[in-house]
Amino acid sequence: MRVFQLTSEATPFAKTGGLADVAGALPGALERLGCEVTLVLPAYREVFARGLPIEPTGLRFPVTLGSRIHEATIFSCQLPQAASRILLIGNDHCFDRDSLYGGGEDFADNAERFIFFSRAALELAARQPEPVDIIHCHDWQTGLVPAYHKLLYQEEPTLSRARTVLTIHNMAYQGRFWHWDMLLTGFHWRHFHWKQLEFYGQLNMLKAGIVFADKLTTVSPTYAQEIQAAPGGCGLEEVLAGRADDLSGIVNGIDTDTWNPCTDPHIPRHYGAEDVADGKYTARVALAARLGHAAPDERPLVAFVGRLAEQKGVRLILEMLGRMAGSGLAHVVILGTGDPVLEESLKTVAAAHPDAVDVVIGFDETLAHLIQAAADILLMPSQYEPCGLAQLYAFRYGTIPVVRATGGLVDTVVNVTDQTLDAGTASGFVFDEFTSAALEEAVRRALAAMQDQARWARLVGQVMAQDWSWETSARHYLDLYAQAAAASPAAVPAID
C-alpha cells in the first residue's frame, strides 16, 4: 500500500508540539508493516538549519493561488536507518521564516502559506510514477487536501483510486480565516457554505477536512467521543457527530528507542524494571545537582513537565502547592514554558518554598528525561488532553502518573485500586473534577500508596511492562487504510 503522509511538522525536521512526534514516527512504523510511505512537509528555514542530508530533486512546478502563482521547489532527504521517502516542498516566500507559524502572534498570511502547501502536496502526489492509495493528512494545515482531492484532483490518474484520511490532533486549532481567503483556494464560491467550507462567515480549513475526508481519526477513543459534543468539538461537534461512522480514535505511540531508561543517553545510570530503585536514586542525585541542591531530597519527588497553560491544569497545581508546599510530604519539580502569568506565579511559589519546590522555565530535552527518570509521580491534571504522551514516557521510566479523567488519559491510565492492582491493569491515579481539591486528593492517594513499598514496587513493575510502541498504533492505522481503500469514497454533504 502506497501512503502519502502530509504534515506541517515532523521530527527531526521541524517541531512545535506532539504533532511532529507523531508524523515523524508513524511512517517508519508503517514501513515495518509493509507500507510504502512518502512523508511530505514544508521546507522551512528551520529544516535546512538542522544539518540534515537534504538534496534538491530538480523538480519545480507552479501552484496557482487565486491571481498569483507561487513556484514549488521539491527537495528530498534520506535519513539513516529510515526506509521512508521524505520530500520537502520549498518556497522562500512561504517558508523562509524564523518560525513555523509565527512568534507571539500567527503570521497574517498563514492561510496563503498552507493553501499553497496543500495544493502543492497534491500536485506532487499527482506527479508520482505510481498510483497513491492513501493520502493521510494531519490537522488544519492540511485540512483542504481532502477537499482538493474530491473537487479538483479526482480525475488525476495517480490519485483517482486514492482515499483520504484526516487525523485531528487538537480540535482547538482549526485554521479559521476571513472569507476572502477563499479566493486563494481556487474553489468556487458555492462551496463557501455551512455544509462545507464556511464557519460563521469564515473559511475553516479543519472543517473542510472533516467534511471531505473519507476517514477521520483522532488520537484516542475517548477524545473521539468528546469532540462529538460541546465543548470538546469547539463548535464543530455537530459536523463531527454527522461523520461518527467514519470517525475513530487511535492512541498515539511513543518512540521507545528515545524514551528507554535502558539506553537513554540523557540519564546518568541506565536501568530496567529489575533495578529501577537504584536507577531512580542515581537520577535524583544528578537532578539535585542540576537544580543546585547539595543532596537529593529524601521525600517523594512529584513532577510536572510540559506546557505551562490553563489547559494543562497548571492553575490547579499552583492552588494545590499553596496548600501542600509547606506540608513536608513531597518535593515538587516543574519544567516548562508558556503563559507568562503562570510562569511568574510558579516562580513566586518556588521562592517562598525553596526546600520543597523547584521551577525551571524553558525547555531542556536532557532535563526532561532526567526528571522522568528521577520522579516518583508525574502530574497531568489536564482540562482536556486529546492523547497525551508524557504519561506514556512516565510508564517507561517507572514513574506513576496522576491524571484527570479526560481524552487519551482515560484510555491509557487505569486507576489504582486493590482490584486493578491484583488484575495487573493498574497504572496511575485518576480523578474526575477539574479542581485543585480533586487533584490534591489524588496526589495524597499516590503518596499514601508509596508507604507500602512492596505494593508500590509491584505497580512500578506493571507500568514498565506495558507496550505503547508505535507498532501497536500503526497496525490500527493500517487496518483503517484497508477499510478506506475497500470502501466507496465518502459522500459530501450536498449544498441546498
Q: Which fold has domain 273-467?
A: Rossmann fold (3.40.50)
Question: What is the rounded distance in angstroms from the CA atom of residue 408 to the CA atom of residue 226?
Answer: 10
Q: Which three cell numbers stand for residue 8?
A: 506541517
Is residue 81's pLDDT more than 90?
A: no
Indicate the average pLDDT of the chain: 95
Is residue 12's pLDDT more than 80?
A: yes
Q: Which three cell numbers stand for residue 222?
A: 475517548
Question: What is the rounded distance in angstroms from the CA atom of residue 181 to the CA atom of residue 186?
Answer: 10
Max intra-chain CA distance, the chain: 72
pTM for the whole thing? Answer: 0.92
Lowest mean per-residue pLDDT among 103-107, 294-298, 449-453: 103-107
Is residue 409's pLDDT more than 80?
A: yes
Q: Which fold has domain 2-253+472-486?
A: Rossmann fold (3.40.50)
Q: Are 480 and 248 spatial neighbours (Cβ–Cβ below 8 Å)? A: yes
Point out which residues pair with 3 in neighbouring strands. 37, 134
Question: What is the rounded distance in angstroms from the CA atom of residue 11 to the CA atom of residue 27?
Answer: 11
Closest-CA residue to 151 (of 117, 122, 121): 122
- Cα 228-394-413 angle, rounded to 5 deg: 40
Q: Are 386 and 407 spatial neighbours (Cβ–Cβ below 8 Å)? A: yes
Orientation angle between helical segments 453-464 and 276-290, nearest 10 degrees: 90
Is residue 367's pLDDT more than 80?
A: yes
* Model pLDDT for residues 299-328, shown as the tens digit of each residue: 999 999 999 999 999 999 999 999 999 999
Is residue 72's pLDDT more than 90?
A: yes
Q: Dihedral, CA atoms, 162, 163, 167, 173, nearest 10 degrees?
A: 80
Per-residue model confidence (pLDDT) at position 82: 74
Return residue ranges of the chain for CATH 3.40.50.2000.
2-253+472-486, 273-467
* Model pLDDT for residues 229-285, shown as the tens digit of each residue: 999 999 999 999 999 999 999 999 998 988 999 999 999 999 999 999 999 999 999
Question: What is the rounded distance in angstroms from the CA atom of residue 184 to the CA atom of residue 65?
Answer: 5
Averaged pLDDT, 193-203: 96
Q: Are 422 and 396 spatial neighbours (Cβ–Cβ below 8 Å)? A: no
